[in-house]
Structure 1
Amino acid sequence: MRRIFTSILMLFALSSIAQEYQNQGKFEQLDNMLRSPNVYRTASGAPGHMYWQQRADYNIDVTLDEKNNRITGSETITYTNNSPDGLSYLWVQLDQNMRAKDSESYSSSESSVPDKASEGQIDRMMGYPDYDGGHKIQKLVDAEGNPMNYIINQTMMRIDLDEPLKAGESISFSIDWYYNINDRARMGGRGGYDYFDEDGNTVYTITQWFPRMAVYSDFEGWHNKQFLGSGEFALPFGDYEVNITVPADHIVASTGELQNEDEVLTSTQLERWNKSKTADLPVLIVNKKEAEKAEKNKASGTKVWKYKAENVRDFAFGSSRKFIWDAMGVDIDGKTVMAMSYYPKEAWGLWDKYSTRVVAHTLEVYSRMSIPYPYPVAISVEAANGMEYPMICFNYGRPAPDGTYSARTKYGMIGVIIHEVGHNFFPMIVNSDERQWTWMDEGLNSFLQFVAEQEWEPNYPSRRGPAGNIVSYMKGDKSNIRPIMTNSENIIQFGNNAYGKPATALNILRETVMGRELFDKSFKTFSERWAFKHPTPDDFFRTMEDASAVDLDWFWRGWFYSTDHVDISIENVQWFKLDSKNPEVENKTKRERRDREAYHVTPDKNKKEGVVTVVEKHPELKDFYNEWDEYDVTSADKKAYKTFRASLNEKEKQLIDGGYNFYEVHFENKGGLVMPIIVEMTYKDGSTETKKLPAEIWRKYENKVTKVFVTQKEVVQFQVDPKRETADVDEENNYWPPRSLPNRFELYQLRQTTPRGQSPADNEMRRAQDN
């Protein structure tokens, strides 16, 4: 009986805690939602004095089989256990297994049958039956060549150790494997091959290609959540030595520094390479004519490109005989970094003009905002989509066959290059767990992408960052929205949730809530603290507050943990003035108010109809009150006013004579997301003034607040969020007096529809040429 009673008490206590949590105000601290600080991670958001992380070093030999579109590899991994724990098994990621025939990526994805389906759509529904995907493990042995016990669970492989790997110890083991490269045009994906029918050549972007160690951390243990396709990767740092065997006429772009340029480059290419290191503009290492020649005259045999990379968390490469290659040196904090681009002739006209220059610009902006770029190279490779790896990324953007391109293509290409190069910083250096918190790499990076875009050219058309651009998402159906703090695989509207909303939130934090000086210092502090380490959201939230002395728990709670939106309205405005007691002034105002309030329509209609009143017929009925007006100024009134003025001190006289207007403005928080209230007042003379009320004005009453504004000028209009800083979803209720704008509708005309897959009009550049 006592045990049952105790259980009931515990359930009651848990229920009370849950209810208390639900009833918490928007300004309550996040303490119970964050991990408790410890010796590994401090309450300030910094790494603790006993912080540790694991290390994985790789030696890899890999061969690209162009005939069969296959990768074959052999690797030796040296894994160092820096944790205080003994490890009886290790987890290795086999990310290519998401493409295996029994992959849960296929079985867990929703699908439906459309009214009409293309061959490609049917192919996807059937799970690509003719493609044999996934890592094929051929051998797994220890340092002495003895077979090791392992089990593969979807995209994760557990290696069981004969003896636990003790704290401070290392273990080496070797894996042989192969996999079939996916056709990106057909199957999509972060890597794969792109085949060019026109010239019979292929561009390879090789990613997630080798078995990689999973992270073992102080806050989660093994990060072995399955890879379903959306959540990306958490990886330990280490050094890489990679020998890449490719067809002899291929050019290889890779993570790391090339070790044998004398063996794989011609003397002319080598001369150009050395020249590019000190060039102010990109230098073509392989020019367009040479790439076109290689396309037509395919060489036999193979070459081995040798690369080394230090202190990186991953490794990727691209390979093709189609590559044009240009490069230039960039000064980052006194060190030369090689900014480089690799692209086929189909991208000429855009990539030769912009890509490497955009790489250099990105390095400069991100280095200023976070930490100086630490690696020796930064590479942009033209591919079907955008994806990032240490020192190398893959980006889209090609002109039309006639060399013209649309503004959308140009700015989309520049934006994706900034974004993917920027990923070198987040998460390749500030190494968050992308599978758990997509926003920590995509959101932070999209925010800095916006900063870099706005410093590329005036009024750059940024997709993400400006507050107004996220409004349509924020005001959408809440059943189709998840909080930012949602696991990667569970997110709905991935781009808006993980990229757009956090980027917008951070931009608002920088420009409106904290100000640039405090924000930039705090953001840089976070970057410096967690460079080459594994931060969590808690570490970010705590550091931003710790380095700024700005309490931001309300901000994280609203923007990151809820699906509330911003909608602050002006419900009412009341206008007051000080009573000067001067009868010459006040009585006139009072008379006007009385006459306005006492007016009714009957006397006017009587007069119009010729009705003559009794008093008008018999004037002898008039007396004192027919001539008296309570607001006529008398000598007694003047005497009383004189006495009143004599009783005032100088400050009181200044207040009364100042002509001050007191406006009592009533605001309502309709969207639930508390934010600063930015109010612009337009005066009668046409001038304007803006006042900003901090978000803390809502701290006691979260739904409605009142604020008095005192001015010497008359206000003719109040407007909330005049510069669209806060992502307010309804601008119509931001005005007082209320403002009504006309909506437009079109005259319906029957027009010929545009054929599927074709643009409704030529791009802007082509139209200008036609003129």
Structure 2
Amino acid sequence: MKFVKASVIALFVLIGNAKMSIAQNATPPASKYDQHKVFNPLFYTTNGNEYRTAGGEPGVKYWQNRADYKLAVTLDTAEHKVSGNVEITYTNNSPDKLPFIWLQLDQNIYREDSRAEATSVVTGGRFTNKAFTKGDEIKSVTVIQNGKAEKANFIINDTRLQIRLKDTLKANGAKLSIKIDYAFTVPEYGTDRLGRLNTKNGWIYEVAQWYPRMEVYDDVLGWNSIPYLGSSEFYLEYGDFEYSITAPANLVVVGSGELTNPTEALTASTIAKLAKAAASPSTVTIRDSSDINSKSFYPNKANLTWKFKCINARDVAWAASRSFIWDAAKIELKSGRKCLAQSVYPIESSGKDAWNRATEYVKHSIELSSRWYEFTYPVATNVAGIVGGMEYPGIVFCGSNATKGGLWGVVNHEFGHNWFPMIVGSNERKYAWMDEGFNTFINDFDTDDFNKGEYAETQNVQRIAKAMFNPNADAIMNTPDVIQNNYLGFAAYQKPALGLHILRDQILGADRFDYAFKTYVKRWAFKHPTPWDFFRTMENVAGEDLSWFFKEWFMTDWKLDQSVKEVTYVDGDVTKGALITIENLEEMALPVVIAIKEANGKTDTVKLPAEIWERGSKWTFKYKSTSKLVNVTIDPKAQFPDINTSNNTWTGIAAKAVPAGVTANSVIDNYIKAIGGADKIKAVKDVYITSIGTVQGIEVISTLKLKTPNKMFQEISVPTMNMVPLKIIIAGDSVSMQQNGQVTPLPAAAKASLLANAQICPEINYGTATLSLAPNLEAVGDAQAYVITIMQESGIKITSYYDEITGLKIKEVTNAGSSELSNYQAVNGIKIPFTRKAEMGGQLIDFKVKDAKIDSGLKDEDFK
């Protein structure tokens, strides 16, 4: 599943919380660190057994059950309905007799009386129903067992169906078959996992969770019958699929696996084009826009049946539309096995920066991710439609409006899921991080390598730390439905991915990590691992006790704050070496990377293992210096999630003191003069600024309107994704905020802060705030800046930096992030920054002003 992109969602969360953080005590706290908690020896609470070994691999008696499917359905485009039947052959390989069996009826989530609907917040969300259907309409259920076919004794409870067997299904390989006749209406919006999109050439149907599916019975929990509520995804048995889709003949149908009746469903010309594409490393057009209305493209029939086969898979999905443009290319796997990459999309999605490159993205996503384990399906199909991003074996659904880096990101992410959880079949219903986090991790390597890093960006981990480790953060080891909606992007995607990067780059090294990680994939390919199987595999294969890391990173909400406490010299002599003392102030332990610079120009980097923190919260080490140290910096490349970087650097150079006579008020007065003067500012009636930035190739537009008195409209939009992550409207004392279209309740302090800042120049009215000027100037880039802390009556704290020479504000910091301001230009006599580098979601985004107007005549209706 796509969370837009993990870092992009994190960005949107931070945007929505901008300037709303309550001030914290400026006095450095005492260390919270306790080495006994971190390095507690009792991490593993059970021993290995004959099913799952202590070393993390399937045991000699490991088993899993199997479900093979035969499906035949018809798509009624007038009623938007799928109807037909499924025959499931279920094999009980367990050592247990089964008196009953459980199936999933996922379409029941779309019923008005579903448990998911009852547990959805009133403000809605991505996984909330926007309309209702009748769910799975079960017409008949038959059990075939011991050579007899009998009407099943079954009950339906929300998204589960239980069959109470007349004869207990025996252990160790016994089989039975289940036949179900059913139907359901395809919802227009299927909680961003399936649905239909109306285009000018017809509906696009993206169909998934479209048949009753077996629940997993395993050696860990028995039946895994957690209801489907929306956020949590799936846990499925493996088997072989044969399925057919009957639909109007002018539709193109694509699905998981391989089309087995091409001569019946396709014309000879289309088959020839597909053969050409299968041999071509570059994209070949199979069906262009001129074919949509051409009768020669379709066999001369009213309806066609498309037949597919997918071997050793946990699921299948399909899509159908008259509107599809279709192109394809060859996937080149190192083993020499042939695969096909293909994309289908409406003409509205075409373009050289859009879906015309989709097949190129599919091809390289599969080839690059195969470094971990070779892709197993014959075809990789990408479908443009209403679903923003969702994955199924060999087929993915991606947003039809995605372009540039946004399209690469979603295609790469969704196809990465063919490794996690399609090949490595973890329990997504419980452990989202085992598919989303692992997938986000492998996506990073693909993006670095694709087209010489076309969309690669280096993430500053320090910048994302405050958001990822915020006071309300959930631990990774929670079910997705428990994790708060605005933190799921961190808990399921970014934090586990970052943990793997730290494990690889800072703890184990690339060689040991890669060998262990590939071993994990190979061991558990087409099987059902638990978190403990992953932890044990990584430890045993890499040869390292990692229990301390797995505990703190996955099981807790602990934070990291490493600091340089002091530097002294042996016997007071700089030539005898320096004694550097570092501290661990928060609960998490990680290795330490320290950059050191001496007065003689010598530089060095010292790396210390996490085990130094086994001794306590302070550590002193000797550095063989030959001259005075001038700089000691922890984490110089910003690779660790340190929540407080203000204590990461020690310098031997005295800070520049604020000159005598300079006060906070005089600095503010100089700023007001620098941008135009109080009289001109007070005379301004309205301001209208539009700025554009990008996040990993995705264009983000910022719109700001201000009008006196006390009117503001602020909107952050992502046009290619049809998203409005943030909208704030202020009219007098009324303050409303929406995040991703949902009304967000605001505490009184946040409202007060927004009201205080909804002005042309907030500094004009700082009379009600408490201002404090730092005793020393601080460097911001090449400039020296006065640092003023503004404590508002609401308790909100803002730190602003004003250039010592120009008087202009060049930086602003809140607990939610920071902004660097530059390139001031005059608009109607008032200087405004035309470049704003905003630190949001761990990204430093350059917003460039596209248009700025002062006194353009904004009306009250512009603030709605």
Task: Note whether the superposition's TM-score is higher than 0.5.
Answer: yes
Which deviates more, 377-386 or 91-100? 377-386
SS of residue matched to 1:83: coil
Superposition map of 1:292-303 within 5 A: 301-303=302-304
Residue deviations 1:145-177 (CA, integer Å, cap 9, x gap) = 421000111111101111111111000110011
**Aligned-pair distance for 1:255?**
0.3
* 1:490 aligned partner: 482
CA–CA distance in structure 2, aligned partners of residues 420 and 280 of structure 1: 21
CA–CA distance in structure 1, aligned partners of residues 459 and 56 of structure 2: 25
Distance change (3 Å), C-alpha of 1:731 and 1:395: same
Check if 1:695 corresponds to 2:699.
no
Q: Is the 8 A contact 1:450 1:465 kept in 2?
A: no
Superposition map of 1:546-625 within 5 A: 546-576=540-570
Q: Is the 8 A contact 1:258 1:306 kept in 2?
A: yes
Identity %: 36
* 1:598 aligned partner: none
* 2:382 aligned partner: 380
Q: Is the 8 A contact 1:380 1:393 kept in 2?
A: yes
When the two structures are superposed, what TM-score results if normalisation uses the length of structure 1? 0.78
**Aligned-pair distance for 1:28?**
2.1
CA–CA distance in structure 1, aligned partners of residues 466 and 340 of structure 2: 41
Which deviates more, 57-66 or 376-385? 376-385
- What amino acid does structure 2 have at the position aligned with 1:99? Y
SS of residue matched to 1:699: helix
* 1:325 aligned partner: 326
CA–CA distance in structure 2, aligned partners of residues 29 and 192 of structure 1: 49
Q: Is the 8 A contact 1:339 1:379 kept in 2?
A: yes
CA–CA distance in structure 1, aligned partners of residues 293 and 534 of structure 2: 48
Check if 1:98 corresponds to 2:109.
yes
Superposition map of 1:632-671 within 5 A: 660-671=575-586
Distance change (3 Å), C-alpha of 1:285 and 1:90: same
**Aligned-pair distance for 1:381?**
1.1
1:472 to 449, 453, 466: 466
Check if 1:210 corresponds to 2:124.
no
**Aligned-pair distance for 1:97?**
0.8
- What amino acid does structure 2 have at the position aligned with 1:666? T
Distance change (3 Å), C-alpha of 1:360 and 1:685: farther
Q: Work out which structure has the larger RCO, using CA pairs closer than 8 Å and 6 or more positions apart in sequence.
A: 2
* 2:157 aligned partner: 153
Q: Is the 8 A contact 1:467 1:508 kept in 2?
A: no
- What amino acid does structure 1 have at the position aligned with 2:153? N
Q: Is the 8 A contact 2:437 2:497 kept in 1?
A: yes
CA–CA distance in structure 2, aligned partners of residues 239 and 373 of structure 1: 17
Q: Is the 8 A contact 1:397 1:413 kept in 2?
A: no
Q: Is the 8 A contact 2:629 2:652 kept in 1?
A: no
Distance change (3 Å), C-alpha of 1:239 and 1:456: same
Distance change (3 Å), C-alpha of 1:283 and 1:761: closer
**Aligned-pair distance for 1:30?**
4.7
1:359 to 359, 362, 383: 362
- What amino acid does structure 2 have at the position aligned with 1:520? D
SS of residue matched to 2:116: helix
Check if 1:231 corresponds to 2:232.
yes
- In the alignment, structure 1 segments of 5+ residues that lack a partner are 1-21, 113-120, 400-408, 580-658
**Aligned-pair distance for 1:352?**
4.6
1:672 to 578, 587, 599: 587
**Aligned-pair distance for 1:767?**
12
CA–CA distance in structure 2, aligned partners of residues 465 and 295 of structure 1: 51
**Aligned-pair distance for 1:501?**
0.5
* 1:259 aligned partner: 260
Which deviates more, 707-716 or 56-65? 707-716
When the two structures are superposed, what TM-score results if normalisation uses the length of structure 2? 0.70
Residue deviations 1:84-108 (CA, integer Å, cap 9, x gap) = 0000001000011111121111111
1:25 to 10, 31, 37: 37
SS of residue matched to 2:83: strand
Which deviates more, 708-717 or 431-440? 708-717
* 1:716 aligned partner: 630
* 1:442 aligned partner: 436
CA–CA distance in structure 1, aligned partners of residues 469 and 524 of structure 2: 34
Distance change (3 Å), C-alpha of 1:51 and 1:415: same
Distance change (3 Å), C-alpha of 1:383 and 1:767: farther
CA–CA distance in structure 1, aligned partners of residues 215 and 258 of structure 2: 25
CA–CA distance in structure 2, aligned partners of residues 326 and 305 of structure 1: 18
CA–CA distance in structure 1, aligned partners of residues 330 and 605 of structure 2: 46
* 1:590 aligned partner: none
Distance change (3 Å), C-alpha of 1:338 and 1:738: farther
Residue deviations 1:450-502 (CA, integer Å, cap 9, x gap) = 1111112556656897634631323412xx21110111210121111100100
**Aligned-pair distance for 1:671?**
2.5
Residue deviations 1:185-205 (CA, integer Å, cap 9, x gap) = xx6430011112x44x10010
* 1:607 aligned partner: none
SS of residue matched to 2:151: coil
| Alignment length (residue pairs) | 640
2:649 to 719, 724, 735: 735
SS of residue matched to 1:503: helix
Distance change (3 Å), C-alpha of 1:39 and 1:665: same
Which deviates more, 232-241 or 740-749? 740-749
Q: Is the 8 A contact 1:450 1:464 kept in 2?
A: no
**Which of the two has greater strand per residue?**
2
Distance change (3 Å), C-alpha of 1:365 and 1:465: farther
Q: Is the 8 A contact 2:266 2:298 kept in 1?
A: no
Check if 1:398 corresponds to 2:401.
yes
Distance change (3 Å), C-alpha of 1:194 and 1:242: same
**Aligned-pair distance for 1:564?**
1.2
Residue deviations 1:581-630 (CA, integer Å, cap 9, x gap) = xxxxxxxxxxxxxxxxxxxxxxxxxxxxxxxxxxxxxxxxxxxxxxxxxx
Q: Is the 8 A contact 2:267 2:298 kept in 1?
A: no
Superposition map of 1:530-545 within 5 A: 530-545=524-539
2:183 to 145, 169, 178: 178
CA–CA distance in structure 2, aligned partners of residues 62 and 239 of structure 1: 17
- What amino acid does structure 2 have at the position aligned with 1:27? F
**Aligned-pair distance for 1:685?**
3.4
Q: Is the 8 A contact 1:326 1:340 kept in 2?
A: yes
1:41 to 38, 52, 55: 52
* 1:683 aligned partner: 598
Q: Is the 8 A contact 1:30 1:557 kept in 2?
A: no
SS of residue matched to 1:565: coil
CA–CA distance in structure 2, aligned partners of residues 729 and 323 of structure 1: 48
Distance change (3 Å), C-alpha of 1:79 and 1:225: same
CA–CA distance in structure 2, aligned partners of residues 462 and 251 of structure 1: 34
CA–CA distance in structure 2, aligned partners of residues 460 and 682 of structure 1: 34
- What amino acid does structure 1 have at the position aligned with 2:368? V
**Which of the two has greater helix per residue?**
1
CA–CA distance in structure 2, aligned partners of residues 738 and 247 of structure 1: 77
Determine which structure has more spread, i.e. the larger CA radius of gyration.
1
**Aligned-pair distance for 1:680?**
0.2
CA–CA distance in structure 2, aligned partners of residues 416 and 295 of structure 1: 34
**Aligned-pair distance for 1:252?**
1.0
**Aligned-pair distance for 1:411?**
1.1
CA–CA distance in structure 2, aligned partners of residues 371 and 122 of structure 1: 35
**Aligned-pair distance for 1:364?**
2.0
* 2:77 aligned partner: 66
Q: Is the 8 A contact 2:81 2:183 kept in 1?
A: yes
Q: Is the 8 A contact 2:196 2:385 kept in 1?
A: no
Q: Is the 8 A contact 2:577 2:622 kept in 1?
A: yes
CA–CA distance in structure 2, aligned partners of residues 109 and 386 of structure 1: 21
Check if 1:191 corresponds to 2:194.
yes
